[in-house]
Amino acid sequence: MKTAIRSKIRPAFVLVTLMLAAATASAQATSTVESRLKAELTAMGYPEGKLPNLLPDSGPWLHGAVVGNLLFLSSAAPQDANGQWIKGPIPSRNSVQDAPMLARRACVRQIARMKQVLGDLDRVKRIAYVRFNIAVDPGFSELTPIAEGCSTLYTAVFGEAGKHPRVMEGVSANPSNTAMEVETIVEVR
Protein backbone atom coordinates (compact mmCIF):
# COMPACT_ATOMS: atom_id res chain seq x y z
CA MET A 1 0.00 0.00 0.00
CA LYS A 2 2.89 2.39 0.78
CA THR A 3 4.26 1.81 -2.71
CA ALA A 4 0.90 2.67 -4.28
CA ILE A 5 0.70 5.93 -2.29
CA ARG A 6 4.29 6.85 -3.18
CA SER A 7 3.64 6.22 -6.86
CA LYS A 8 0.73 8.69 -6.73
CA ILE A 9 2.52 11.31 -4.65
CA ARG A 10 5.77 11.34 -6.63
CA PRO A 11 4.22 12.52 -9.96
CA ALA A 12 2.21 15.17 -8.11
CA PHE A 13 5.36 16.35 -6.32
CA VAL A 14 7.27 16.52 -9.59
CA LEU A 15 4.43 18.46 -11.24
CA VAL A 16 4.23 20.99 -8.39
CA THR A 17 8.02 21.39 -8.41
CA LEU A 18 8.01 22.05 -12.17
CA MET A 19 5.17 24.55 -11.84
CA LEU A 20 7.01 26.45 -9.10
CA ALA A 21 10.22 26.47 -11.17
CA ALA A 22 8.32 27.84 -14.19
CA ALA A 23 6.65 30.55 -12.09
CA THR A 24 10.01 31.55 -10.59
CA ALA A 25 11.65 31.66 -14.03
CA SER A 26 8.79 33.78 -15.37
CA ALA A 27 9.08 36.24 -12.46
CA GLN A 28 12.85 36.45 -12.94
CA ALA A 29 12.43 37.00 -16.70
CA THR A 30 9.98 39.83 -16.05
CA SER A 31 12.25 41.56 -13.58
CA THR A 32 15.17 41.03 -15.94
CA VAL A 33 13.29 42.55 -18.89
CA GLU A 34 12.12 45.48 -16.76
CA SER A 35 15.58 46.07 -15.25
CA ARG A 36 17.28 45.85 -18.65
CA LEU A 37 14.73 48.26 -20.09
CA LYS A 38 15.23 50.72 -17.23
CA ALA A 39 19.01 50.59 -17.70
CA GLU A 40 18.67 51.26 -21.44
CA LEU A 41 16.20 54.11 -20.93
CA THR A 42 18.40 55.70 -18.26
CA ALA A 43 21.42 55.53 -20.58
CA MET A 44 19.33 57.20 -23.29
CA GLY A 45 18.36 60.08 -20.99
CA TYR A 46 14.74 59.19 -20.25
CA PRO A 47 13.79 60.64 -16.84
CA GLU A 48 14.05 57.99 -14.12
CA GLY A 49 14.51 55.33 -16.81
CA LYS A 50 10.78 55.32 -17.53
CA LEU A 51 9.00 54.74 -20.81
CA PRO A 52 7.49 57.86 -22.37
CA ASN A 53 3.78 58.45 -21.89
CA LEU A 54 1.63 57.74 -24.92
CA LEU A 55 -1.52 59.56 -25.86
CA PRO A 56 -4.60 57.35 -25.61
CA ASP A 57 -5.91 55.68 -28.76
CA SER A 58 -8.07 58.15 -30.64
CA GLY A 59 -10.19 58.30 -33.74
CA PRO A 60 -10.11 55.36 -36.09
CA TRP A 61 -6.58 54.11 -35.23
CA LEU A 62 -5.04 52.13 -32.37
CA HIS A 63 -1.52 51.93 -30.93
CA GLY A 64 -1.74 48.19 -31.47
CA ALA A 65 -4.08 45.25 -31.89
CA VAL A 66 -3.70 41.63 -30.83
CA VAL A 67 -4.84 39.19 -33.50
CA GLY A 68 -4.45 35.59 -32.41
CA ASN A 69 -0.97 35.37 -30.90
CA LEU A 70 0.41 38.40 -32.75
CA LEU A 71 0.49 42.04 -31.68
CA PHE A 72 0.53 44.45 -34.61
CA LEU A 73 1.84 47.89 -33.61
CA SER A 74 1.19 51.14 -35.45
CA SER A 75 4.36 52.68 -36.84
CA ALA A 76 6.40 54.83 -34.47
CA ALA A 77 8.59 57.83 -35.20
CA PRO A 78 11.49 58.91 -33.01
CA GLN A 79 11.00 61.45 -30.24
CA ASP A 80 13.68 62.86 -28.00
CA ALA A 81 13.53 62.29 -24.23
CA ASN A 82 11.37 65.44 -23.91
CA GLY A 83 8.78 64.21 -26.41
CA GLN A 84 9.77 66.36 -29.40
CA TRP A 85 9.48 64.69 -32.83
CA ILE A 86 12.77 64.26 -34.65
CA LYS A 87 12.26 65.34 -38.24
CA GLY A 88 14.06 65.46 -41.54
CA PRO A 89 16.13 63.19 -43.75
CA ILE A 90 19.48 61.57 -43.20
CA PRO A 91 22.21 62.81 -43.72
CA SER A 92 21.28 66.43 -44.56
CA ARG A 93 19.18 67.14 -41.46
CA ASN A 94 20.16 64.29 -39.12
CA SER A 95 23.70 62.96 -39.11
CA VAL A 96 24.60 59.40 -40.01
CA GLN A 97 26.23 59.11 -36.56
CA ASP A 98 23.00 60.14 -34.77
CA ALA A 99 20.66 58.05 -36.94
CA PRO A 100 21.00 54.73 -35.01
CA MET A 101 19.87 56.56 -31.86
CA LEU A 102 16.83 57.83 -33.76
CA ALA A 103 15.89 54.24 -34.61
CA ARG A 104 16.44 53.33 -30.96
CA ARG A 105 14.13 56.14 -29.84
CA ALA A 106 11.41 55.02 -32.27
CA CYS A 107 11.65 51.52 -30.81
CA VAL A 108 11.37 52.90 -27.27
CA ARG A 109 7.93 54.13 -28.36
CA GLN A 110 7.17 50.66 -29.70
CA ILE A 111 8.08 49.10 -26.34
CA ALA A 112 5.82 51.66 -24.64
CA ARG A 113 3.03 50.55 -26.97
CA MET A 114 3.70 46.90 -26.18
CA LYS A 115 3.35 47.66 -22.49
CA GLN A 116 0.23 49.78 -23.02
CA VAL A 117 -1.57 47.18 -25.13
CA LEU A 118 -0.38 44.03 -23.31
CA GLY A 119 -0.21 45.45 -19.79
CA ASP A 120 2.98 43.50 -19.06
CA LEU A 121 6.16 43.08 -21.10
CA ASP A 122 6.33 39.48 -19.85
CA ARG A 123 3.67 38.72 -22.46
CA VAL A 124 6.22 39.41 -25.22
CA LYS A 125 7.29 35.99 -26.46
CA ARG A 126 9.33 37.24 -29.42
CA ILE A 127 9.86 40.25 -31.65
CA ALA A 128 8.57 38.66 -34.85
CA TYR A 129 9.25 41.36 -37.48
CA VAL A 130 10.47 44.95 -37.80
CA ARG A 131 10.18 47.28 -40.81
CA PHE A 132 11.99 50.61 -41.18
CA ASN A 133 10.99 53.50 -43.45
CA ILE A 134 13.94 55.86 -43.15
CA ALA A 135 13.81 59.35 -44.67
CA VAL A 136 17.01 59.82 -46.65
CA ASP A 137 18.49 62.21 -49.15
CA PRO A 138 18.68 60.97 -52.78
CA GLY A 139 21.49 58.47 -53.24
CA PHE A 140 21.93 57.65 -49.53
CA SER A 141 21.75 53.89 -48.97
CA GLU A 142 23.57 53.08 -45.70
CA LEU A 143 20.43 51.89 -43.90
CA THR A 144 21.74 48.81 -42.07
CA PRO A 145 23.75 50.70 -39.41
CA ILE A 146 20.71 52.89 -38.74
CA ALA A 147 18.38 49.92 -38.20
CA GLU A 148 20.94 48.41 -35.82
CA GLY A 149 19.95 51.05 -33.25
CA CYS A 150 16.50 49.51 -32.88
CA SER A 151 17.61 45.91 -33.30
CA THR A 152 20.23 46.19 -30.58
CA LEU A 153 17.69 47.78 -28.23
CA TYR A 154 15.20 44.94 -28.73
CA THR A 155 17.96 42.40 -28.12
CA ALA A 156 19.31 44.27 -25.06
CA VAL A 157 15.83 44.37 -23.49
CA PHE A 158 14.31 41.03 -24.56
CA GLY A 159 17.46 38.89 -24.97
CA GLU A 160 17.19 36.13 -27.58
CA ALA A 161 13.47 36.88 -27.96
CA GLY A 162 14.45 40.34 -29.24
CA LYS A 163 16.23 38.99 -32.33
CA HIS A 164 14.07 39.47 -35.42
CA PRO A 165 13.88 39.58 -39.20
CA ARG A 166 13.74 43.10 -40.58
CA VAL A 167 13.22 45.10 -43.73
CA MET A 168 14.65 48.57 -44.41
CA GLU A 169 13.56 51.05 -47.01
CA GLY A 170 14.93 54.50 -47.77
CA VAL A 171 12.08 56.91 -48.52
CA SER A 172 11.90 60.54 -49.65
CA ALA A 173 9.52 61.50 -46.83
CA ASN A 174 7.53 60.12 -43.88
CA PRO A 175 4.30 61.42 -42.33
CA SER A 176 4.82 64.81 -40.64
CA ASN A 177 8.38 64.82 -42.05
CA THR A 178 9.64 62.49 -39.30
CA ALA A 179 13.12 61.04 -39.72
CA MET A 180 11.78 57.50 -39.80
CA GLU A 181 8.85 55.23 -39.07
CA VAL A 182 9.31 51.81 -37.50
CA GLU A 183 6.71 49.04 -37.64
CA THR A 184 6.87 46.07 -35.27
CA ILE A 185 5.00 42.78 -35.02
CA VAL A 186 5.29 40.85 -31.75
CA GLU A 187 4.46 37.25 -30.89
CA VAL A 188 2.64 37.23 -27.55
CA ARG A 189 1.96 34.69 -24.82
For residue 105, the domain's CATH number is 3.30.1330.40
**Is residue 39 in some structural domain?**
no
DSSP 159-180: GGGG---EEEEEES--GGGBSE
Query: Is residue 145 a contact partner of residue 100, using CB atoms and an 8 Å limit?
Result: yes
**Is residue 18 in some structural domain?**
no
**Is residue 71 in some structural domain?**
yes
Q: Which residues contact 80 (CB under 8 A, 6 or more apart)?
A: 86, 105
**Residue 97: which domain range?**
47-188
**Is residue 13 in some structural domain?**
no
First to last CA, the chain: 43
pLDDT computed for residue 75 by the predictor: 94
Predicted confidence pLDDT, tens digits, the chain (189 residues)? 555 555 555 554 444 444 434 444 444 444 689 999 999 999 998 889 999 988 888 788 899 999 999 999 999 999 987 788 999 999 999 999 999 999 999 999 999 999 999 999 999 999 999 999 999 999 999 999 999 999 999 999 999 999 999 999 999 999 999 999 999 999 999
Q: Is 4 helix (H, G, I), strand (E, B) or coil?
A: helix
**Is residue 72 in some structural domain?**
yes
pTM: 0.81
**Is residue 34 in some structural domain?**
no
**Is residue 37 in some structural domain?**
no
Sheet strand arrangement including 180-188 = 64-67, 70-76, 180-188, 124-135, 166-171
- Range list of β-strands (E), 37-159: 64-67, 70-76, 124-135
Cα separation, 80 vs 99, in Å, equals 12
Q: Structural domain tally of the chain?
A: 1
**Is residue 32 in some structural domain?**
no
